[in-house]
Amino acid sequence: MMPTPVPPGAEFLTAPGLSGMPHGFFTRRGGVSAGRFASLNCSLSGQDEPEAVRENRARAMRALGTEPASLSGLFQVHGTAVAVVEAPVAHEARPHADGAVTNRPGVTLGIITADCGPVLFADPRAGVVGACHAGWRGALSGVLEATIEAMEALGAARADIAASLGPCIRQPSYEVGPDLREALLAADPAGGRFLAPGAREDRWQFDMAGLILARLRAAGVAAEALPNDTLAEEDRFFSHRRRTLEGGGPIGHQLSAIALPFRGSPPF
């Protein structure tokens, strides 16, 4: 899980379970954005300069060896909808969904996060990949399972699917209150195993990564997680919680992306 810097930047992490698939969990390093967005901000929905974000996203695609125009993102809403992507999707036409799947080479699936869990999926045997944005709401509601089911509809076999969770906020950094605890226990009576006592009364430390991995494994897929904590590693990752603790203001987002390898001539 070593960082892979690609000149002139666009640093990303890879996962052993996705070896052989073009994929990357990008950090905030290696882009052209400035200030609070420095430097590889890949979200076009924020207050960053659009030209800078487009260059950052293009750098990320070149780092993976894919075309900038292949990047197909989502309008993420913390839900369970999953889009089937048959051709590259322009930013203006991105669907309202939190998961995406494809069996088409030439499509790169992209997820934007800044503490939530980016999960990339692959069934190399069937030639199907997927990606989803899993915050605690989406994870409890079933976005992980919905993405797996959408991959199966394209021919993937659950036993052949590998899933990798990228950098997200980890338990030591994720203090939560009674509202999240109640939602967790309502959805999963055994959910208390993902909570540790907090430093303050009526507060807990939430293991969101543990919840995501448990649900993936219960769904029957091989699952792994990168150890990085987005809040703790300020020099490498954007973090919504860090922004909140600092009193607000603009925030950047990192990109996670996956594609099928080309076999022969690009189809698009």
List the CATH number of the domain containing 37.
Answer: 3.60.140.10
Kindly report, residue by residue over 143-157, the tens digit of the pLDDT.
999 999 999 999 999
Examine residue 211 and state whether it is found in any structural domain, yes or no: no
Examine residue 229 and state whether it is found in any structural domain, yes or no: yes
Kindly report, residue by residue over 86-135, the tens digit of the pLDDT.
999 999 999 999 999 999 999 999 999 999 999 999 999 999 999 999 99
pLDDT at residue 263, as a whole number: 66
Query: How much is the average pLDDT of 189-200?
Result: 96
pLDDT at residue 200, as a whole number: 95
Tell me, what DSSP letter sits at residue 146? H
pLDDT at residue 7, as a whole number: 44
Examine residue 190 and state whether it is found in any structural domain, yes or no: no
Examine residue 192 and state whether it is found in any structural domain, yes or no: no
Residue 267, pLDDT above cutoff 50: no
Work out whether strand 108-113 and strand 71-72 pair parallel, antiparallel, or are unpaired.
parallel
The model's pTM is 0.95
Residue 93 sits in which domain range? 21-170+223-259
Q: For Cα atoms 132, 135, 141, give the angle at the middle one, nearest 5 degrees.
A: 80
Examine residue 47 and state whether it is found in any structural domain, yes or no: yes
Examine residue 264 and state whether it is found in any structural domain, yes or no: no
CA 232 to chain centre: 18
Tell me, what DSSP letter sits at residue 205? E
Kindly report, residue by residue over 5-49, the tens digit of the pLDDT.
444 579 999 999 999 999 999 999 999 999 999 999 999 989 999
Examine residue 48 and state whether it is found in any structural domain, yes or no: yes
Q: For the chain, how many structural domains are there in total?
A: 1
Query: How much is the average pLDDT of 52-70?
Result: 97
Mean pLDDT of the chain: 95
Kindly report, residue by residue over 204-247, the tens digit of the pLDDT.
999 999 999 999 999 999 999 999 999 999 999 999 999 999 99
pLDDT at residue 229, as a whole number: 98
Examine residue 181 and state whether it is found in any structural domain, yes or no: no
- Looking at residue 43, its amino acid is S
Residue 1, pLDDT above cutoff 70: no
Distances (CA, A) of 181 to 40, 50, 201, 246: 34, 38, 13, 24
